[in-house]
A and B are shown apart, each in its own frame.
Chain A
Amino acid sequence: MLRLECLRSIYSELQNCLVVTIMGAVAAELQSLGHRPNFFYLQHAMGLASSMGLGLALCLPEQQVIVIDGDGSLLMNLGSLSTMARYRPKKLVHVVFDNESLLSVGGFPTATSTGTDLEGIALASGIPRVATVRSVESLKAAVTDAVRGSELTTIIAKVEATGPAAYVTDLSLLENRFQFRRHVQSLKKR
């Protein structure tokens, strides 16, 4: 399963959500499908995308928030699963692309390649709904269900360790930041 195809399959769902992604391949691939003002790419600070999604979801409980995380990033901040589970915002969906690799720094294998089970960790952390998916169709169905539902959900999507040719895009970090903030503020005025 290719991450780019997964992103393509859920792109229409993402259009109506506040989306926070991690750095590297995920950010570049989502931008290649079309940047939108409701997408924020956390291009560093590995592990904090889920924390930022939690902050957004707690402050804007009516807004659907989707965090697009990765195995390498999540492994750097496993405590975030326990914090999310503690407050379990109803409209937060946490998608983790698990390619068992730190792809953007040379493809070094992460601990999920040697048996660490992110689904098990998420469940044991108290995340109310957890699923692992291995096909584009099941990923799309899981994300759609999670968005329609009203329970904090973590979806582990097992993908191949391949990515785009380049990670730097023409969207500057600060341009993204100011645009995203303006977009979120405009939602509150509606």
Chain B
Amino acid sequence: MAGADLDGRNMPVSLTNSKLIFDALKECDIRMVSALPETWLVHLIRLADDDPEMTLVRLAKEEEAVGVSAGAYFAGVKSAMLMQNHGFLASINGIVSLAHLYKIPLLMLISYRGSFGERDPWQTQGGNVTEPLLRALGIPYSFLDAVETVKKRIRQAQTLAESSLQPVALLLTRDLMWEE
């Protein structure tokens, strides 16, 4: 059942900026994306699904993505993880006990729900703890918050992940993802 809301057409998620992010990922030679849907990610996931050069792995829970991306890394395939910040919370043991323990580079694109402008009450608690947790885990992070810097930041995040052999996060912000 592919209702209008399910593919994001009735939601003000930016298709233009989702495409910008997706194209930047492809320019970084990323060929596998693992994801769990969330409103801000609908276009990105559909773009990955529609692209024959991209392998999309739809997960049951975000922590699986750490294992899938680690497998891809050993195979020599560049991958990215698409998740909501609550999915990041659900992945923490995998990040610590696989990615950190074994020095596996991960490129994590995390939608930053529950921050300024958030209307959904259920997103707000996760918004409070996202950055403190990234800092506590020692995960370098930056923001995708402006069209002009998207491409460069994705490239820089991937470069740092690969040189430091560790997870690096990019927070997808409302300013970039939401059009209203």
Query: Interface on A for B, CB 8 Å cutoff?
Result: 20, 40, 42-60, 77, 79-80, 82-83, 86-87, 173-174, 177, 180-181, 184-185, 188
The interface residues of chain A lying within 8 Å CB-to-CB of B147 are none
CB-defined A-B contacts under 8 Å, sample of 7: A51-B71, A55-B79, A59-B75, A77-B64, A80-B60, A83-B59, A177-B104
**Which B residues from 65 to 80 make CB contacts under 8 A with A?**
65-77, 79
Q: Which of B94-102, B110-118, B154-162 contacts A (4 or more CB under 8 A)?
A: B94-102
Dominant SS among interface residues on chain A: helix
The interface residues of chain B lying within 8 Å CB-to-CB of A45 are 66-67, 93-94, 97-98, 101
Query: Interface on B for A, CB 8 Å cutoff?
Result: 32, 55, 57-61, 63-77, 79, 93-94, 97-98, 101-104
Q: Report whether A44 and B98 are in contact in the complex, using a CB–CB cutoff of 8 Å.
A: yes
Question: What is the distance, in angstroms, from B72's C-beta to the closest C-beta of chain A?
Answer: 5
Given contacts A47-B63, A79-B60, A185-B76, contact A55 B68 (CB under 8 A): yes
Question: What is the distance, in angstroms, from A65's C-beta to the closest C-beta of chain B?
Answer: 8
Q: Report whether B75 and A55 are in contact in the complex, using a CB–CB cutoff of 8 Å.
A: yes
The interface residues of chain B lying within 8 Å CB-to-CB of A42 are 98
Q: Report whether B72 and A55 are in contact in the complex, using a CB–CB cutoff of 8 Å.
A: yes
Closest A residue, CB atoms, query B102:
A177
Q: Report whether A79 and B94 are in contact in the complex, using a CB–CB cutoff of 8 Å.
A: no
Question: What is the distance, in angstroms, from A171's C-beta to the closest C-beta of chain B?
Answer: 13
Q: Report whether B101 and A55 are in contact in the complex, using a CB–CB cutoff of 8 Å.
A: no
Given contacts A51-B64, A60-B75, contact A83 B57 (CB under 8 A): yes
Q: Report whether A54 and B67 are in contact in the complex, using a CB–CB cutoff of 8 Å.
A: yes
Question: What is the distance, in angstroms, from B33's C-beta to the closest C-beta of chain A?
Answer: 12
The interface residues of chain A lying within 8 Å CB-to-CB of B32 are 55, 58-59
Q: Report whether B97 and A83 are in contact in the complex, using a CB–CB cutoff of 8 Å.
A: no
Closest B residue, CB atoms, query A80:
B64
Closest A residue, CB atoms, query B66:
A48
Q: Report whether B71 and A54 are in contact in the complex, using a CB–CB cutoff of 8 Å.
A: yes
Q: Report whether B55 and A58 are in contact in the complex, using a CB–CB cutoff of 8 Å.
A: yes
Query: What is the CA–CA distance of A66 and B55 in the complex, to the nearest angstrom?
Result: 21
Query: What is the CA–CA distance of A48 and B62 in the complex, to the nearest angstrom?
Result: 11
Query: What is the CA–CA distance of A73 and B120 in the complex, to the nearest angstrom?
Result: 35
